[in-house]
Amino acid sequence: MSKRPGPGEVMLRSELHEAYGGNRQSGISIAAQAGMIHVFSDPAHIAKFGMPDGFDEAGVYLYTGMGRKGDQSLTQGNRALLTHKEAGRDVFVWRREMSSSAAYRCLGQFEVDPKEPFISADAPDDDGYLRTVIVFRLRPVGETAAGAPVAVVTPHLDPLIVEEDSAIVRLLPSERVHRSIQIAEGELSDRYRVHLKGLGHEVRRYQIQPPGEVRLFSTDLYDRTDNVLIECKPSPTRQAMRLAIGQLLDFRRFLSPTPRLAVLTGAKPRQDLIDLCGSIMVEVIWLEEDGAFTSSFD
């Protein structure tokens, strides 16, 4: 078929496939006979997992590839999208009108960016397990539909660092944890924040987006008065303490002046774990049964 869909054109997905062909279920649908690839975007799916889907600041459309469980790979639809020019196929992006609708609006024709066709990012799969996904960078070919979506989070060449009030808790969908753990972390963090403020300290937190990443990562607490970055882990297991150390070392790279590091736990860890933290100059702070806080550096 010589006719191509135009920007802003709305079609039921069933009608779209009757007209152009292609797989009716796939997010990246290859209409081989029509020489097209149709890419489908669903705002409800985007909101659930917090991945970018829309135009970034440079006018490039970010689209997360196929594969709902495990690491995504450059196979099947992802490979077809990456190599669409070599195969002589035009790419069209369609966005679902409403979560309850079968109608999609054409955002226009696009092509994979020749210099940087995609980036890799971390995101949860359908079971909530973190995995690596492929985020395609699609450049418009001609006009695009009016009111096209803007990506909620977009990658930057330099780290993005936002300091904000520590009372703000913003867990992205891609940072989902078991509800009981989430509550326990929040309660412990709040108690220590109140404790620090009672001492006259200014307490903040950071949102950090490393270069090239599409996610914002949240620190737990930052004691600005003493320049201490604090990671909260309610249960002082070895796994939790190791995770906290890794998070602190990762975050510290982006902050200036370089902060001291501390792990806040809901109970005193085993001595070996306190020694582990002490060996790399990480303070351990724990909540005593009487409600007081004790530091391994005291």
Question: How does strand 90-96 pair with strand 36-41?
Answer: parallel
- Checking if the pLDDT of 94 tops 70, the result is yes
- Higher-pLDDT residue of 161, 263: 263
Cis peptide leading into residue 210 (ω within 30°): no
Phi-psi region of 88 (alpha: psi -120 to 50; beta: other; left: phi over 0): left
Rounded to an integer, the average pLDDT of 87-108 is: 89
Q: What are the Cα distances from residue 138, in Å, to 31, 104, 118, 165, 183?
A: 18, 18, 8, 36, 39
Residue 172 has pLDDT above 50, yes or no: no
Cα 151 from Cα 54, distance rounded (Å):
4
Could you say which of 3.40.1350.10, 3.60.15.10, 2.60.130.10, 3.40.50.10860 is the CATH number of the domain covering 160-295?
3.40.1350.10
Contact call for residues 137 and 119 (beta carbons, < 8 A): yes
Task: Give the pair of three-digit tokens for residue 240.
Answer: 């939790």
pLDDT digits (tens, 9 = 90+) for 192-225: 999 999 999 999 999 888 887 777 788 999 999 9
pLDDT (tens digit per residue) in 221-255: 999 999 999 999 999 999 999 999 999 999 999 99
Identify the bridge partners of residue 138 per DSSP, sorted by sequence position.
61, 112
Query: Roughly what angle, to the nearest 10 degrees, separates helices 238-252 and 271-279?
Result: 20
Instruction: Give one DSSP letter per residue of 97-135, joined into a string.
Output: SSTT--EEEEEEEEEE-SS--EEEEEEE-TTS-EEEEEE
Its CATH architecture, for the domain 10-144, is: Roll (2.30)
Residue ranges of domains in the chain = 10-144, 160-295
**Which pLDDT score is estimated for 122?**
80
Q: Name the pTM for this structure.
A: 0.67
